[in-house]
Amino acid sequence: MTPPPEALPTVTFVVLAKAPVPGRVKTRLTSGYSAHEAAALAGAALLDTLDGVRAAGVRLDAGGAAGETGTPGLVCALTGDLALAAAPAALADGLSTFRVVAQRGEGLGERIAHAHLDAAGPAGATVQVGMDTPQADPAVLAAAAARVVAPDGPDAVIGPAADGGWWLLALRRAVDARLVAAVPMSTPQTGRLTRAALEAAGLLVETAPVLSDVDVPADVDRVAAACPGSRFAALADVLGVRPAVAS
């Protein structure tokens, strides 16, 4: 008798986010923006990201790429106090369709590893993004999810960032996120080292498109131009171009 086909893993989209509290988030933007403006930009980027992830989940579900396991999950791994954040009511509304879990771990690598596991369990498939690529296309997010649940797909998909980091990490098995826990984060080598850590463990890795993330004032106009019609672009237009001021 032929054994039944192995069930495809459930896909969970994970947004790793920090509450956009003035002075606590996007502090590198404050060379050109005030702390409150930087927090407002971070909040707009987070809201746009939540919308994009939600749209990716709908797209994936409608296309049947999630297999026989039902609608993809939506999780936000959050740190910080939303009550102190810019636009708390809008953020509460944006998160209303997400399961919110607290980030845990000492460094960013550990927090990423725990976020995958807490969102999906060790055997679930995950697609994780941060909150600073509001231009991320839902179609690209859904495609990454489809690849890591496809029978002939890779074990991981990584989306490189223009600054040498990465903006997306999709995994066939969330437990494999442990492989990135010790990778140095927020460096020009983070993307290369993350891919190397995955491949050293025998994982087959594919690549998503390169995106710019929002770290410094020069990134704001660049990213806003890539997502016209978004909250982030509208706010960036109101604030205007702000070159960094040397301290």
**What is the value of pTM for the model shown?**
0.92
Q: What is the pLDDT of residue 242?
A: 81
Strand order in the sheet with 99-102: 99-102, 73-79, 11-18, 125-129, 166-171, 156-160, 205-207
Q: What is the pLDDT of residue 10?
A: 77
Q: Which of 103, 130, 111 is nearest to 182 (CA)?
A: 111
Domains observed in the chain: 11-238 (3.90.550.10)
At 57-100, the pLDDT tens digits run: 988 877 655 444 456 899 999 999 999 999 999 999 999 999 99
| 98-104: long-range contacts, CB 8 A cutoff, minimum separation 24 | 98/15, 98/50, 98/74, 99/73, 99/74, 99/75, 100/75, 100/76, 101/75, 101/76, 101/77, 102/77, 102/78, 103/16, 103/77, 103/78, 103/79
Position 246 confidence tier, pLDDT thresholds 50, 70, 90: low
Name which of 111-115, 214-218, 226-230, 239-243 the model is least confident about: 239-243
Residues 105, 228: Cα–Cα separation, whole Å: 36
At 143-200, the pLDDT tens digits run: 999 999 999 999 999 999 999 999 999 999 999 999 999 999 999 999 999 999 999 9
